[in-house]
Amino acid sequence: MQEKLEKIREQATKALESETLLKELEDLRVQYLGKKGELTAVLRGMGSVEPEERPAIGKLANEVRENIEGLIDKKKKELEKLAQEQQLDEEVIDVTMPGKKIRIGKMHPIQKTQEEVENIFLGMGYEVVDGREVETGYYNFDALNLGPDHPARDEQDTFYFTRDMMLRTCTSPVQVHTMESQKPPIRMVAPGKVYRSDEVDATHSPVFHQIEGLVIDKDITFGDLKGALAEFAKSLFGDKAKVKFRPHYFPFTEPSAEVDVSCVMCDGKGCNICGGTGWIEILGCGMVHPKVLEMAGIDPEVYSGFAFGMGLERITMLKYSIHDLRLFYENDVRFISQF
């Protein structure tokens, strides 16, 4: 028994002295000291040892165990130190080398314009309201005084899911939901994506962005509308910007108008961008039709209001002199990085 224990100590010592890998050190520990290890196997045979020899054999076995455990701990520290030194040698950092340049992302010009427009109206006391992009025929058409024969309801103009479910063609339904859920006074703008069945070209896209505004209160007049849009134009295009209102027809407003802003390229003097007129159309607006107020549960005898809507792509193209709408959606980093 004593010879076996000495032999185990000798074999373990040689094996540990020649070991160079940390991951194999654990295998050696299990081989000699584990539940099924060589030392454990010897100790299980203690029953065959003469009683008077057992104390000496037990003492020797403990010495062998402690000796092997000590060698393992020592070897582990040596190998860990070597591994650390090797890692430091391999991962040397030259602090004199220039650092890696971190590329900073840019905000998309449409998002940038949207936030700028929102901030202008927030400063005027409006709130920003979001809405769903899938709408029913009632909110997308009927509640806006667009009758069943209106051309906007044709399948070649609108993306339908069913006869009564569609992708919204404007953000006006958000205004209707707001009027139904909130009592006047109301001052809100509704930005978001809208969808129309258009061919893609330099000025059209089946997916684009709008921002529409609504004010409902007592004694609201067309003069309030003109003042709000004039202030908006100056805030967005500069103090020299002027606005011009031209009579127009929209089913959901009466009276209605289209709004032109003095050309930002030539300060209203006339150029090829504005066609020599000095003016560029930017949005449509008008006083909310009494029938629209009535359908939303608001008494048109007590309250009045105005509404307006603009395409964010058009505003962005004017603001940054962009001549092709398709550039917004081509994901060209060279284009985005300019803004």
Q: pLDDT by residue (tens digit) across 41-82?
A: 666 666 666 666 667 767 777 777 787 778 778 877 887 888
User: Both 131 and 79 in a single domain?
Assistant: no
pLDDT of residue 45: 64
Q: Which of 25, 31, 103 lies closest to 71 in space, CA to CA?
A: 25
> Could you tell me if 117 and 155 lie in one domain?
yes
The reported pTM is: 0.67
* Residue 296 vs residues 110, 142, 291: alpha-carbon distances, Å: 31, 11, 9
- How far from chain centre, in Å, is Cα 218? 39
Higher pLDDT, 229 or 60: 229
Assess if residue 95 is contained within a domain.
no
The band of 120, judged by pLDDT with boundaries at 50, 70 and 90, is: very high
Q: 117 and 58, same structural domain? A: no
CATH code for the domain in which residue 273 is found: 3.30.930.10
Decide which of 90, 125, 140 is a domain's last residue. Answer: 90
User: CA–CA separation, 245 vs 308, rounded Å?
Assistant: 12
User: Given 33, 55, 90, which residue is the final one in a domain?
Assistant: 90
In a domain, 20, yes or no: yes
167 and 22 both lie in a single domain: no
Q: Is the distance from CB of 229 to CB of 122 less than 8 angstroms?
A: no
What mean pLDDT do residues 208-234 have? 96
Nearest CA-CA partner of 80 in 20, 137, 1: 20
What percent of the chain lies above the pLDDT cut of 70?
A: 91
Does pLDDT of 273 surpass 80?
no
Q: How would residue 19 be classed by pLDDT, with cut points 50, 70 and 90?
A: low
> Could you list the residue range(s) of the whole structural domain that residue 299 is in?
111-336
pLDDT at residue 38, rounded to an integer:
72
Which of 13-17, 218-222, 324-328 is the least confident region? 13-17
Q: How many domains does the chain divide into?
A: 2
The reply to whether 100 falls in a domain is: no
Burial per residue of 19-50, b for 16 or more beta-carbon CB atoms within 10 angstroms, e otherwise: beeeeebeebbeebbeeebbbeebbeeeeeee
118 shares a domain with 82: no
Residue 123 in this model has a pLDDT that exceeds 70: yes
Tokens standing for residue 164: 């009564």
Residue 166 forms beta bridges with which residues? 135, 160
Within this chain, do residues 133 and 280 fall inside the same structural domain, yes or no?
yes
Instruction: Answer whether residue 307 shows pLDDT above 90.
Output: yes
User: Which helix (H) or strand (E) is 128 found in, with range?
Assistant: strand 127-128
Average pLDDT rounded to a whole number, residues 152-166: 86
- Count other Cβ atoms within 10 Å, centred on residue 69: 14
Q: Strands across the sheet with 127-128, in order?
A: 127-128, 186-195, 207-217, 304-311, 279-288, 253-262, 243-250
**Is 259 part of any domain?**
yes
Q: What is the predicted pLDDT for the residue at 59?
A: 76
Do residue 79 and residue 115 come from a single domain? Answer: no
| Residue 98 belongs to some domain of the structure | no
Same domain flag for 83 and 116: no
Domain shared by 82 and 196, yes or no? no
Is the predicted pLDDT of residue 176 greater than 80, yes or no? Answer: yes
Domain contains 265: yes
From the list 192, 237, 240, 242, the residue with the least C-alpha distance to 212 is: 192
CA distances from 259 to 92, 115, 235, 286, 308 (A): 65, 21, 16, 10, 10
Same domain, 79 and 161: no
- Would you state the pLDDT for residue 143? 95
Reference 311, options 287, 281, 288; nearest CA is: 281
| Residue 188 confidence (pLDDT) | 97
pLDDT at position 225 over 70: yes
Closest CA to 310 of 239, 236, 242, 247: 236
Residues 251 and 318 in one domain: yes
**What's the distance, CA 15 to chain centroid?**
59
